[in-house]
Amino acid sequence: MRAVRSLFVIAALSSVVWTTTGQAQDPRARARQLYTEAQALFQAGNYAQAEASFRAAYDAVPNPVVLRAIASAQEQQGNIAGAIQTLEQYLRDAPGANDRAEVEGRLQAFRQRPAQIAITSTPPGARIVLDGRDTGHVTPHEVTMSGGAHTIELHLEGYTATQQQFEAQAGTRARLEIGLDAAADPLGTSGGDQQHADDGGGGGGGGSSDPSVGVWVLAGIGAATLIAGTVFGFLALSEQSNFDTAPANDIADRGETFALVADISFGVAALSVIAAVVLYVVERASADSSQQAAIVAPFATRDGGGIAAQLRF
């Protein structure tokens, strides 16, 4: 019985030693198995699954050689930025690698691959300027550029020019959306001109040095009444001549009426011209004010006539 018991103890100890040794060998065996599976997936064109298996093999045993296989799988998937990072890690983990020059050349080729950036704006139609050079295109448009830092400017009439820094990843596609802000009104328009026009008179010029409508209206009234006064003046003189030749009451009444109309016309003409000049001077002096307004209107009565003007500030 004692011999049998000793045999069981020896067998148990052997089993423990074998299990421990087997477990110690498991990571390397698993890494080899995963690497072999990954190679088969890569050959079959299943690059995403191959990358996953290569990474699992590397996690089991961090062998820098596996990083090159991972970079190849990333390249086949178009993930150039990821392949660059993986190969850079390979050079860090294996500084004395025999294939260092080959890997560095591969990295350089990757970095020279252009990036494709789809640039859009709100609103669209903005002119695209890349690193100070007009591309000749407007948004939306896909622009080709090298990897690295770039400056993108968008120009659109009526909107503020917008500039944005962008870091392009070599060999990748990306989308850049930029919102444009409406440009401020440099003239600072106001509603003063419209208000003065609605008043029907010689309103302020709203900051303009040109004569307003009111000035032109007053000048027109002055010219018209001057002509009318001249005409009626001649008629009055004609009736006076007729009265001197053949005195009669009706001729005298007509002469007085023509003379009165001529006087009123000349008076309105003079006042209109004066008012036009005054209004123009006031407008020029108050060009920066949008609150000024003027109301001018002619009037006539049985005893005479004239023109009235009212200025508001």
pLDDT of residue 184: 79
Handedness of CA 241, 242, 246, 251 (dihedral sign): negative
Which two tokens mark 95?
């500084």
pLDDT of residue 40: 94
More confident position, 76 or 279: 76
pLDDT of residue 131: 92
Pairing of strands 304-312, 148-155: unpaired
| Mean pLDDT for the stretch of residues 246-268 | 77
- What string of DSSP letters covers 42-76? HHTT-HHHHHHHHHHHHHHS--HHHHHHHHHHHHH
Note whether 2-111 and 115-179 share their fold.
no
Confidence of residue 303 (pLDDT cuts 50, 70, 90): low
* pTM greater than 0.85 (yes/no): no
pLDDT of residue 305: 54
pLDDT of residue 200: 44
Domain ranges of the chain: 2-111, 115-179, 192-312
CATH numeric code, 2-111: 1.25.40.10
pLDDT in tens, 73-117: 998 998 888 888 899 999 999 988 898 999 999 988 888 888 889
Please check whether residue 81 is in contact with residue 170, taking contact to mean a CB–CB distance below 8 angstroms. Answer: yes
pLDDT in tens, 16-44: 344 444 444 588 889 899 999 999 999 99
pLDDT winner (highest mean) among 112-116, 264-268, 307-311: 112-116
For residue 33, give the amino acid letter: Q
Q: Which CATH architecture has domain 115-179?
A: Sandwich (2.60)
pLDDT in tens, 178-224: 999 998 765 555 444 444 444 444 444 444 557 777 778 877 887 88
Least confident of 95-99, 240-244, 301-305: 301-305
Measured CA to CA in angstroms, residue 294 lies from 6, 270, 277, 290 at distances of 127, 18, 13, 12
pLDDT of residue 155: 94
pLDDT of residue 253: 76
